[in-house]
């Protein structure tokens, strides 16, 4: 039962993402840019922390 729920959730999530991209491409591109910025910042922070531990 859980496997089916995960599959359904995955399909719904993908459908929502595709709908958002088609319906509001400007907002979708802004959201993607924010995600990449957040991931970049987190990666830099992790790198700095590892560098501090190595010193």
Both structure tokens of 2: 């859980």
Q: How far is the CA of 26 from the CAs of 21, 23, 30, 33, 46, in angstroms? A: 8, 9, 6, 11, 30
Q: Could you give the percent of the chain with pLDDT greater than 90?
A: 65
**pLDDT value at residue 11:** 96
What does the pLDDT look like over 2-40, one tens digit per residue?
Answer: 889 999 999 999 999 899 889 998 888 898 899 999 999
Average model confidence (pLDDT) for the chain? 92
């Amino acid at each position: 039962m859980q496997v089916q729920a995960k599959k359904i959730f995955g399909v719904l999530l993908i459908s929502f993402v595709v709908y958002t991209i088609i319906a509001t491409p400007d907002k979708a591109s802004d959201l993607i840019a924010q995600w990449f910025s957040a991931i970049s910042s987190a990666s830099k922070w992790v790198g700095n922390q590892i560098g501090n531990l190595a010193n």
